[in-house]
Amino acid sequence: MNNWIELDLFGMGCGLGLILLSLGLASWQRLGITWKIGVATGQSIIQLLVLGYILELVFALQNPVIVLLAIIGMIAISAIVTRNKIGNRVPYLLPIVGISLVISTALTLTYTHLLILRVQPWYTPQYLIPLAGVLLGNAMNAAVIAGERFISNVNQNQTAIETHLSLGATPRQSTQAYRQEAIRASLFPTLNSMMVIGIVTFPGFFAGQMVAGMDPLNASLYQMLVMFILVITTLITTSLLIQGIDRQLFTSAAQFKSF
């Protein structure tokens, strides 16, 4: 079952017609986002075309070094975007985010490729790069949610943290509730998606495989796998990130310092 339709210039031109309709509707409603829609459309076109040409080259070369460099580049960009969204108040935030993403990505992809997919050769970009992109995108969003929630909570509850410290609590005990809340908040979007997937929504990964002609049952199994790796990647990334931020909250004398 490989009957997929290749998009031509005429089809993509008609697709851009949807954006023109969106621009007209936004202008009619006076939303003030017409320019943003146009810029976002232009950026997405350029970025996806560049991505398509790069991946076409990577897929053709089948070189493990190039595949790993591509994934490292994706991790670096994800780390920078995450740091920028959380803010610059936390010392050493970029390396903390980077290490969290590297560890979660490496562990999840290694487990998935060696034990589940058993891809030969292991560096086959057809599997490695799309899965890396899916989990990095989700991990990045989860890290932003967790980081912002944790920093906001500890800054708002400085008095409570200092009170716990004065009563003999350790730094980790004084912020435990805020760490747990931040990690839970980051996981909710993925869990909510899992609860309605296949009933209310058709996720992009599943829909893409269906359009490409994959058997619906096999596409469903792949989507299950994607959701499973998103859960573990989110937990690993946010746990490491929050631990790293938490260590920056206290001096060597266990004194609290807000960001």
pLDDT in tens, 57-95: 998 888 999 999 999 999 999 999 999 999 888 889 999
Place of tokens 């004065």: 166
CB atoms closer than 10 angstroms to residue 85? 14
pLDDT in tens, 120-146: 888 899 889 989 999 999 999 999 999
pLDDT in tens, 172-182: 999 999 999 99
Between 208 and 29, whose confidence is greater?
Answer: 29
**Looking at residue 173, what is its pLDDT?**
92
Query: What mean pLDDT, rounded, does the chain reach?
Result: 89
**Looking at residue 4, what is its pLDDT?**
67
